[in-house]
Structure 1
């Protein structure tokens, strides 16, 4: 869906018209993302955003319920005089808990993660990770990296970080792929680093594409990548086409001209052909932001 693609490229304002079309057709996910796009564009919870979340939540979307549960700044909530037909944040929180609890009991790993987001209880994060939800696995690995959890030995903590980053990466979560690549560098396992950086790039993850494209243009490469100026130029040009999404063009402007200086006009043409082929055979660029 074009609207979600644009939203995931940090182009919330541009995403709104596309999301509105799908939301009007009753798509609960589009309604959630419409609420997100409007809220982030305006930088506060507007009535339009709230309406989108509510339409989504009433279709059972737990993400929208959670977002509405956090909307405690509404004046009517503070005054205690909200319309009778309108649920207050506490009611949305209960609905989110009840809905996620039912699904979690069925073994739904994503719902287990949402139980964690509502309750803050780490046991749900661990359950979700153990049941295969790759975002939870990445979050658990990150938590351990940042000093969370209890480990008798530093080596045990590092092993747990690697275990969960690997699970997340193998589950297809691009930030997990780059997380595992970072772990690999710390172990001086450059072969693994190259593998997962390339996989992250192939997924469309902006961080992965930028890293992979940059490394391919280095001579010599610090990480053992084989010099490929054509592919380097093409991948960095791909990110340049984000046109401001995530403010990454500034980074590309620092790197791309240096790559171009090393290339012949024929190589530039070849890179443009490679770029078009890449776009037609790979997912669109995404920052893969956490849905919540």
Structure 2
């Protein structure tokens, strides 16, 4: 699987990436690479730290290059990047995101890759619009349709609303990706992760204080707890997900130009979104997520 994240403004990306590494290290998933969709100057280095800490320093990282307005605006990325070991010293040594997407997909068996996006969709749009290259003669959409099995997307609000990953800073990419995507896509909406609070006292008590995840939560809000939007999307890769969530597949997610979205009921499509089962205890899910962060 490939994860595409905006590890900057919120801290849930840190936990989500840590979860993926623990699953990868246990052989539960095959994490192929990390795509950074962010204008934070230390975001990729922060991800590099987490890759390194979890024993995967050679994990490929793809970044947006030649962006305007790149700066450090995160509460934690710069300090995490400077305080912990990492492989990369310069961004120029990292591959461009669209190119890395294409390389990873081209080298994978047909229909084998799950893409999980837990940020905005600029790089996914870049992949879908990409022309053939040295990795594959196929254009981006054809390459995706050949190599990908499904897309898990943290984004939107269901049955309707306006959520940050969809509208900020690139709503046009959201419209394009959702209108263009033809394979199964599962949306983990804002309203689900909002109910599941992680990164509080429980995590503080079980994770090593020498961990970059500990440091990120300390810097972000000193373990006051935070909603688990991104972690819920990662949780959908686990067998336990079916215990916690129902899948609603009686319609289509329609996105307006401003990034707001609405679930339009009708015949089933390739779209679905998750909803907490009525009997689900959100505190059980929260503890399960926090436990998955510990390597």
TM-score, length of structure 2 as denominator length: 0.31
Q: Which structure carries more strand by proportion?
A: 2
Q: Which structure carries more helix by proportion?
A: 1
Structure with max Cα Rg: 1
* Higher relative contact order (Cα pairs below 8 Å, separated by 6+ residues): 2
